[in-house]
Amino acid sequence: MSLEQDIELLAMQPILASLPREALRLLAFSAEMRLLRAGDVLFRTGDRADGAYIVVTGTVALNPHDDGSPAQLTVGKGHLIGEIALFAEVERPATAIACETMTVMWINRSVMARVLAEFPDAAALIHAMLAQRLNQLSTELAGVGQNLSAIGP
């Protein structure tokens, strides 16, 4: 893929869409392309996550159980895997295995931090977006808690 195609792929990600083109260019230039064959493991449940992946070509199976059971989710081209790992140190919640020959773009968290430091207005927009998502999740969890309470102990 060309640098311009990489920038377009990054711009398609909702969490990155607020970044100016120059920031996307820096991310694209710093990103690493990785080629996987069918059956290759991208990462395993519990691995330390130091960045995110975007599926460029092919598909990847995601399964929270690292026991050979069938995958619970399969994602393909354009899907961002590990979004939170761009901003915080977390563990991978699932094992990711290539379903076919595929290419992923890897974005390192430290590179993302440098880009956000250079573009503070975009960083503020991303912060607000993540805060809104967290608020929505809290609201949804409160509703689940109320439903569970209604069922009883």
Q: Each residue of 18-70: pLDDT tens digit?
A: 899 999 999 999 999 999 999 999 999 999 999 999 999 999 999 988 777 77
pLDDT at 83: 93
pLDDT at 120: 92
pLDDT at 129: 85
Chain centroid, CA 31 distance in Å: 14
pLDDT at 36: 98
pLDDT of residue 137 exceeding 90: no
Q: DSSP H helical segments within 1-119, as ranges?
A: 3-11, 21-30, 109-118
Task: Answer whether 56's CB lies under 8 Å from 39's CB.
Answer: no
User: What SS3 state is found at 27?
Assistant: helix
d(CA 136, CA 32) in angstroms, rounded, equals 33
pLDDT at 24: 95
Backbone angles phi, psi at 21, to 5 degrees: -55, -40
